[in-house]
């Protein structure tokens, strides 16, 4: 999940907001004194293959890392061997590496300048900076670290020129020695007390993209509104930690050995992943159960502190449902384990709500989120969903964040409905029920006023609020609207085709849209252009509506002696009514919309206007035996990519009932969210 700095904008994704800004006072209050750390029971090797079946990915970037955690200094001392293959058709004379931890080295980095030292409601510690010191880089036995340079505005990217180019198809081995100083947890990674969440902690090579023979590196500085992009590979990682600490990590545990100095060395193996993250904490407990995917059992584990047991059980149910549902919707989960880390309350705002391959962190353990108010579950589902978007579909988050975050957000809403029932997927408590998509729409203000298109490079958004709204909710609402227009079953089938075709590759937005158009057998440019590459939304409203009694024509007819006057007595009302309704779309996204007319006798008439034709307005004319009393646009709530959902009803003759209903709807959403937030 991408993170934007709290305080710089108001509109944030629900999962992002909940993961980063809620004070978990209720849980904290009962956490108690956990006492001094004690040696943990020796973990047992998982005894499972790292991935099901044959290799799934090209395995371009493969890592062997030997790391030791100093829990007093909060440092990781490590060696790393990278084996990288030039899969392109042009030679490579320079290797760039991400050094993400240097984003927390000082307040002059790109990340710190853009965040202004705040991230998801948390402030960077002025006394606990983070950095990565690469002391050695060796290629073919030669030390090349002195020739490395930082080409960008900070030290988050290191480039190493090569003595000889790496030819197409050739493999090169690079060895590193480094020390990673963890910051006090601030943005995804770091320590808080005894808790250590360790992500983006080792030198990681960039990705080459582009047409064959003209590939270029993608290895950008670490911006606050971007996340990560890397190639798939195999990871073999040994972690030496105090024997008092519980560890969870990407991949499967293959060996565990106790050392004479009260430390323990754990060996992990992961295949077809593009990252490796881990957690170490002396007080974590673990509960687990199994999801079933194509007859295979996937172990789902939730790591939590004792005070969070109640929420851990909820995260576990959500985790199992996520694995099974995402597997049905897209491609089967290919790994044997999913680990869900529920960080302690004082670290949740910074470490909670983040995704890595086979390991995610969750959040929102708030007493106000009673069972049935499923914001904690939503965070878990969102983060696990990232194991598809972009864990399996490894899109370039740095340039197309919406293709990961927003597509995942759409899928989260679908999965919530599969697990909990669509009508009350997000809230089903004390008589209230609401699904994710309509809560998200109700929470979004001025959706049509966002000046930046969805398909904007994250750091080029006008501000973090625009980034968050467009990347998360607007993308999800756009996809849901398109699915409603073309038919959900057909749309879901097309999305499954996209996932299967591009699994373990680096798809782009253009690739997604090409698959959708092919599978749906239609040109979608009418929607994709304004919705994703423009700033468009639909803006539906009833411009005019009226009914008048039907009668024969009245007035003066004919000339001279043939002139005749027809009066009301001559042409009385017939008892029927002639009605007309004018609907308009003031937005730039044309969508078919249902229009439902309600009549005084209790009957209803539904028509459909397809704005994809000529003009952006339509006049309905009809005769009825009863007058019109109300017009309702989009009665089934299909068009979610709309600017204002409260002007979709009009009541004739000044009856205030529609206004009361609109007010009640607004009050409902407000009360539901306030109750959920514990306000």
Is residue 107 over pLDDT 60?
A: yes
Please report, for the chain, the start and end positions of each structural domain, with discontinuous segments joined by +: 1-30+290-536, 56-283, 540-677
The mean pLDDT of 344-361, rounded to a whole number, is 93
DSSP 296-360: EEEEEEEEE-GGGHHHHHHHHHHHHHHHHHHHHHSS---SSEEEEE---HHHHHHHSSEEETTEE
Is residue 653 over pLDDT 90?
A: no
Note the pLDDT of residue 463: 87
Least confident of 39-48, 80-89, 549-558: 549-558
How far are the Cα atoms of 424, 525, 604 from residue 433, in angstroms, in the given order?
Answer: 4, 35, 26
Note the pLDDT of residue 444: 80
Confidence bin at 549 (pLDDT 50/70/90): very high
Is residue 226 over pLDDT 50?
A: yes
Is residue 28 over pLDDT 70?
A: no
The mean pLDDT of 40-48, rounded to a whole number, is 97
On the question of a common fold for 56-283 and 540-677, the answer reads yes
What does the pLDDT look like over 427-455, one tens digit per residue?
A: 999 888 999 998 988 888 788 889 999 99
Q: What is the mean pLDDT of the chain?
A: 90
Is residue 575 over pLDDT 60?
A: yes
Note the pLDDT of residue 31: 53
pLDDT over 90 percentage in the chain: 80
Classify burial at 142, counting beta carbons within 10 Å of its beta carbon; exposed 0-12, middle 13-18, buried 19 or more: exposed
Diameter of the chain by CA atoms? 124
- Provide the whole-model pTM: 0.91
Least confident of 114-123, 227-236, 237-246: 114-123
User: What CATH class is the domain 540-677?
Assistant: mainly beta
Query: Other CB atoms closer than 10 Å to residue 505's CB: what's the count?
Result: 15
CATH number of 56-283: 2.60.40.1730
What is the C-alpha to C-alpha distance for residues 122 and 3, in angstroms, rounded to an integer?
11
| Residue 220 near residue 398, CB atoms below 8 Å | yes
Note the pLDDT of residue 659: 46
| Residue 412 near residue 45, CB atoms below 8 Å | no
What is the C-alpha to C-alpha distance for residues 49 and 57, in angstroms, rounded to an integer?
16
What does the pLDDT look like over 173-205, one tens digit per residue?
A: 999 999 999 999 988 899 999 999 999 999 999
Superfamily holding 1-30+290-536: Neutral Protease Domain 2 (1.10.390.10)
Note the pLDDT of residue 127: 85
What is the C-alpha to C-alpha distance for residues 113 and 323, in angstroms, rounded to an integer?
38
Confidence bin at 520 (pLDDT 50/70/90): very high
Note the pLDDT of residue 6: 28
How far are the Cα atoms of 72, 182, 187, 278 from residue 190, in angstroms, in the given order?
Answer: 13, 5, 8, 11
Confidence bin at 646 (pLDDT 50/70/90): low
């Amino acid at each position: 999940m991408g993170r934007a700095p709290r305080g710089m904008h108001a509109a944030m994704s629900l999962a992002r907001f909940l993961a980063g800004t809620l004070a978990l006072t209720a849980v904290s209050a009962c956490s108690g004194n956990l006492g001094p750390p004690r040696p943990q029971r020796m973990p047992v090797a998982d005894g499972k293959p790292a991935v099901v079946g044959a290799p799934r990915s090209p395995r371009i970037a493969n890592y062997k890392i030997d790391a030791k955690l100093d829990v007093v200094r909060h440092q990781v001392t490590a060696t790393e061997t990278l084996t990288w293959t030039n899969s392109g058709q042009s030679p490579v004379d320079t290797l760039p590496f991400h050094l993400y931890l240097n984003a927390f080295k000082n307040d002059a980095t790109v990340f710190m300048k853009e965040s202004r030292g705040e991230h998801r409601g948390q402030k960077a510690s002025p006394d606990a900076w983070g950095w990565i010191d690469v002391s050695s880089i060796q290629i073919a036995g030669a030390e090349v670290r002195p020739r490395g340079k930082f080409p960008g505005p900070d030290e988050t990217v290191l480039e190493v020129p090569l003595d000889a180019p790496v030819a197409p198809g050739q493999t090169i081995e690079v060895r590193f020695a480094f020390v990673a100083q963890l910051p006090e947890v601030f943005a995804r990674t770091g320590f808080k007390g005894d808790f250590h969440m360790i992500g983006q902690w080792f030198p990681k090579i960039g990705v080459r993209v582009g047409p064959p023979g003209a590939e270029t590196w993608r290895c950008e500085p670490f911006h606050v509104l971007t996340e990560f992009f890397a190639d798939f590979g195999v990871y073999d990682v040994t972690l030496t930690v105090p024997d008092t600490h519980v560890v969870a990590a990407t991949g499967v545990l293959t060996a565990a050995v106790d050392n004479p100095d009260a430390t323990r060395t754990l060996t992990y193996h992961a295949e077809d992943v593009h990252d490796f993250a881990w957690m170490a904490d002396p007080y974590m407990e673990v509960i687990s159960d199994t999801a079933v995917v194509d007859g295979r059992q996937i172990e789902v584990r939730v790591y939590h502190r004792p005070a969070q047991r109640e929420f851990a059980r909820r995260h576990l149910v959500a985790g199992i449902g996520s694995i099974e549902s995402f597997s049905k919707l897209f491609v089967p989960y290919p790994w044997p384990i999913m680990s869900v880390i529920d960080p302690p309350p004082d670290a949740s705002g910074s470490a909670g709500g983040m995704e890595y391959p086979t390991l995610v962190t969750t959040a929102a353990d708030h007493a106000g989120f009673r069972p049935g108010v499923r914001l904690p579950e939503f965070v878990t589902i969102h983060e696990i969903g990232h194991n598809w978007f972009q864990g399996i579909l490894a899109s370039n988050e740095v340039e197309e964040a919406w293709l990961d975050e927003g597509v995942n957000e759409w899928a989260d809403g679908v999965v919530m409905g599969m697990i909990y029932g669509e009508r009350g997927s997000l809230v089903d408590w004390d008589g209230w029920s609401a699904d994710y998509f309509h809560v998200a729409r109700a929470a979004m203000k001025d959706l049509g006023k966002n000046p930046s298109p969805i398909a904007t490079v994250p750091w080029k958004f006008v501000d973090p609020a625009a980034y968050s709204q467009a990347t998360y909710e607007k993308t999800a609402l756009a996809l849901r609207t398109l699915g409603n227009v073309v038919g959900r079953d057909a749309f879901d089938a097309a999305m499954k085709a996209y996932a299967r075709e591009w699994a373990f590759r680096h798809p782009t937005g253009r690739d997604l849209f090409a698959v959708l158009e092919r599978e749906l057998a239609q040109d979608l440019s009418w929607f994709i252009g304004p919705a994703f590459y423009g700033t468009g939304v639909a803006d539906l409203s009833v411009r005019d509506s009226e009914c008048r009694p039907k009668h024969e024509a009245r007035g003066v007819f004919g000339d001279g002696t043939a002139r005749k006057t027809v009066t009301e007595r001559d042409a009385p009302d017939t008892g029927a009514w002639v009605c007309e309704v004018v609907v308009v779309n003031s937005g730039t996204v044309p969508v078919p919309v249902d229009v439902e007319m309600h009549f005084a006798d209790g009957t209803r008439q539904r028509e459909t206007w397809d704005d994809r034709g000529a003009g952006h307005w339509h006049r309905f004319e009809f005769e009825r035996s009863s007058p019109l009393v109300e017009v309702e646009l989009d009665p089934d709530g299909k068009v979610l990519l709309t600017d204002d959902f409260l002007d979709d009803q009009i009541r004739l003759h000044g009856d205030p009932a529609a206004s009361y209903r609109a007010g009640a709807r607004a009050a409902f959403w407000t009360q539901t969210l306030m109750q959920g937030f514990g306000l």
